[in-house]
Amino acid sequence: MNLLEVRGLTTAFMTGRGEVNAIEEVSFSLKEGEILGIVGESGSGKSVTALTVMGLLPQPPARVAAGEVVFNGQNLTRMSDRDMQRIRGPGISMIFQEPMTSLNPVFSIGDQIMETIAAHERLSQADLRKRAIDMLDKVGIPSASKRLDDYPHQMSGGQRQRVMIAMALACNPKLLIADEPTTALDVTIQAQILDLLMDLRDEFGMAIMIITHNMGVIAETADRVLVMYAGRVIEEAPVAQVFDRPLHPYTRGLLECVPSLTEDKPRLVAIPGTLPEPARRPPGCRFAPRCSHALPACSEAIPGLELLEPAHTVACFRAQELAPA
């Protein structure tokens, strides 16, 4: 059984211009211990997907217009807020891009970690403290027992992200959603945090959904990859397939426009244009205005995800014909 099943998820927002779909018909699944990478440019719907799964979007303005989220056999989309709160923490936890915005500046980090644990488990103050120190140790904060009484502003960005991870792990979640966990960090710290996430997966066997716009982070961590564009999943495959045999023109473009660390390229292969806002998405294939392979038919209907090769699905009318031999 899959740990998480997301089926046909469409989340809409009420805006000044009426209701628009931030994400459309998003489907994917996640097994225990698996790392799923979700990649796409900003505005492609990665965070909305994660927040919908977590049930964290304020409704209104948000509304789950279609689809369902099934976690551990339970349908989260129909769950009450109170039941949902019991899933967050021991079931699913989330960490965000900017740790400072999710940590409370007026409480010590120890208090914040202990509060998270206390919300789900009855433990004595002394045991709570011990668990908090344990967690800080696990995420690699040196002299954890001394740092417990520190406030968020007394820590570096990398340390704050470690504290966030400690909080997210405090209740032994089965699934950790990491939304751009290293985007605000320097590369040496990013490498440490990515190592840490992989170590934790190996140690506890939790599943991780890692959301990023960086193909390098995907290459480093993911088992399987979901590529999103303009609110839709346009390709899904095991990580090696995505890099060796991308089948969607957009995925190919994403890989080609990154400069190399070892080879000289005279010129970068850019994708013309920009990602459309939800209210201004073109009809048919959302990528058509930027796609060098677009045909008139591409703008007439939205291509659905199809299984083209084993474990490899893609949403492009011409994928078969354009696939490399």
Partner 1 sequence: MTTPLVTASGLSKHFEVGGGGFFGLRKAATLKAVDEVSFTINAGETLGLVGESGCGKSTLGRLLLRLIEPTSGTIAFDGNDITRIGRMEMRGYRRSMQIIFQDPYGALNPRMSVEDIIAEPLVIHGAKPGAETRKQVTQMLEKVGLPARALDRFPHEFSGGQRQRIGIARALVLHPRLIVCDEAVSALDVSVQAQIVNLLQDLQREMGLTYLFIAHDLSVVRHISDRVAVMYLGKVVEVADKKTIYAAPLHPYTQALIAAVPAQHPAQRSRGRRQRIAGDIPSALNPPSGCRFHTRCPHVMPVCRERAPELREAAAGHQVACHLTDI
Ligand X SMILES: Nc1ncnc2c1ncn2[C@@H]1O[C@H](COP(=O)(O)OP(=O)(O)O)[C@@H](O)[C@H]1O
Residues 256-315 that bind ligand SF4 (CB under 6 A): 285, 287-288, 291, 293-294, 298, 303
The item of Mg ion, ligand X, partner 1, none sharing an interface with residue 15, based on CB under 5 to 8 Å by kind, is ligand X
37 CB contacts (<8 Å, ≥6 apart)?
210, 211, 212, 217, 218, 221, 222, 224, 225, 226, 239
* Contact flags string 261-300 toward partner 1, x per CB under 8 A: xx--x-xxxxxx-xx-------------------------
Among 61, 216, 273, 304, binds ligand X (CB under 6 A): 61
Cα–Cα dist 45/132, whole Å: 34
41 near partner 1 (CB under 8 A): yes
Beta carbon of residue 123, minimum distance to partner 1 (angstroms, whole number): 31
156 near partner 1 (CB under 8 A): yes
Q: Choose between 139 and 179: whose C-beta lies nearer to ligand X.
A: 179
- Between β-strands 62-71 and 18-30, what pairing exists: parallel, antiparallel or unpaired? unpaired
Q: Choose between 112 and 251: whose C-beta lies nearer to ligand SF4.
A: 251
Note whether 309 and 303 are within 8 A (CB): no
Among 63, 213, 245, 293, binds partner 1 (CB under 8 A): 213
Q: What's the alpha-carbon Rg for the chain, to the nearest Å?
A: 21
Cα–Cα dist 243/18, whole Å: 38
Residue 25 Rama label (left phi>0; alpha psi -120 to 50; beta): left
42 near ligand X (CB under 6 A): yes
Residues 13-52 that bind Mg ion (CB under 5 A): 47
Beta carbon of residue 312, minimum distance to ligand X (angstroms, whole number): 22
Beta carbon of residue 26, minimum distance to ligand X (angstroms, whole number): 11
Rounded to 5°, angle at Cα 185 from 179 and 191: 90
Cα–Cα dist 32/1, whole Å: 9
**HSE (side-chain half, CA atoms, 13 Å) at 33:** 5
Is the previous residue joined to 61 through a cis bond, with omega within 30 degrees of 0? Answer: yes
Beta carbon of residue 295, minimum distance to ligand SF4 (angstroms, whole number): 6
Cα–Cα dist 65/74, whole Å: 19
Q: Choose between 22 and 135: whose C-beta lies nearer to ligand X.
A: 22
Q: What is the identity of the amino acid at 253?
A: G
Residues 259-298 that bind ligand X (CB under 6 A): 277-278
- Between β-strands 74-75 and 18-30, what pairing exists: parallel, antiparallel or unpaired? unpaired
Cα–Cα dist 19/177, whole Å: 27
251 near Mg ion (CB under 5 A): no
Q: Give the DSSP H or E segment for 278.
A: none
Question: Which chain residues interact with ligand X by CB under 6 A?
Answer: 13, 15, 22, 40, 42-48, 61, 277-278
Question: Which chain residues interact with partner 1 by CB under 8 A?
Answer: 41-42, 153-154, 156-159, 186-192, 194-195, 198, 213-217, 219-220, 222, 239-240, 243, 253-254, 257-262, 265, 267-272, 274-275
Question: Which chain residues interact with Mg ion by CB under 5 A?
Answer: 47
Question: Which chain residues interact with ligand SF4 by CB under 6 A?
Answer: 249, 285, 287-288, 291, 293-294, 298, 303, 316-318
